[in-house]
Structure 1
Amino acid sequence: MTPPTPFEVYESGALLHGTKADLAVGDQLVPGRESNFEAGRIMNHVYVTATLDAATWGAELAAGEGRGRIYVVEPTGALEDDPNVTDKKLPGNPTRSYRTTEPVRVVGEIEDWVGHTPEQLQAMQNGLDDLRRRGLAVIYD
């Protein structure tokens, strides 16, 4: 298998959530939890995507111990475009990234996904570290 293709919608069309949290079918992701990407920050939204690539980044870069996981999820409320990527970085939402203030239910898990290469991971981490150093690692939540 190969690493995910950027901007390619997941084959089933399902929404996905990448994390290191160990969840089960039926569990709900809810707003009001600590951010996967900024220690001490409580999030007002739950974030989901329709691309395996974006979910893979979420699983690989999430805070915490353990392996990354990608869950198939079903929102219980309305979704809106994620302004962190659509308005600020990638106009038009090619990553198909969304957020909601309502719970998101886990309906399955993708277990056979392939992560990014070590070089891709290091480049992404370097870029994120640079944004933090410059005070530009802003989350619009």
Structure 2
Amino acid sequence: MGACVASAPKPFEVHESGAFLHGTKADLSSGDFLVPGRRSNYGGGRRANHVYMTQTLDAAVWGAELALGDGPGRIYIMEPQGAVEDDPNVTDKKFPGNPTRSYRTREPVQIVGELTDWVGHSPEQLQAMRDGLADLERRGLAVIYD
């Protein structure tokens, strides 16, 4: 289940499939489940109480590019097994109304496919995001409400 993307993702644009997406560096397979309680992709080894996902390719690409790990970024197509809610880290703090279509759940989420033909952000965009995140960390503002 792959999709071809000709250019870099656009912020706030829902992926053409309408599916839930999860960006990571973890090498997973269709049929695998993501469950809460595992090590977070962010925050230096913290355990995540939720599984996070989005319906925009842009947010999934950021997840794949910024996740901890040395492997290549990957974007999985996800099927939640229970209720999902808006991700308060994004919707309450940065983008009221949830234009990033960012969600989380305490239920298992099954991988049903992988997007393989996606384009990442430019090196300049990626460095600017990393610099911004490092600044938040230095100022003690890199809080994840999990």
Q: TM-score, normalised by structure 1?
A: 0.99
Q: TM-score, normalised by structure 2?
A: 0.96
User: What is the Cα deviation at residue 2 of structure 1?
Assistant: 1.3
Query: Whole-Å Cα distance in 1 between the matches of residues 18 and 7 of structure 2?
Result: 19
Q: Select which of 78, 88, 91 maps to 1:86.
A: 91
Report the secondary structure of 1:42's partner residue: coil
Q: Select which of 53, 57, 64 maps to 1:59.
A: 64
Provide structure 2 residue ranges, at least 5 long, that are not aligned to the other structure. 1-5
Q: Superposed, which structure 2 residues align to 1:108-119 within 5 Å? A: 108-119=113-124
Provide structure 1 residue ranges, at least 5 long, that are not aligned to the other structure. none
User: What is the Cα deviation at residue 34 of structure 1?
Assistant: 1.0
The answer to whether 1:45 aligns with 2:42 is: no
Name the aligned partner's letter for residue 83 of structure 1.
P
Q: Select which of 125, 131, 137 maps to 2:136.
A: 131
Which residue of structure 2 aligns with residue 77 of structure 1? 82
The answer to whether 1:104 aligns with 2:109 is: yes
Show structure 1 runs of 4+ deviating over 4 A: none
Q: How many residues align?
A: 141
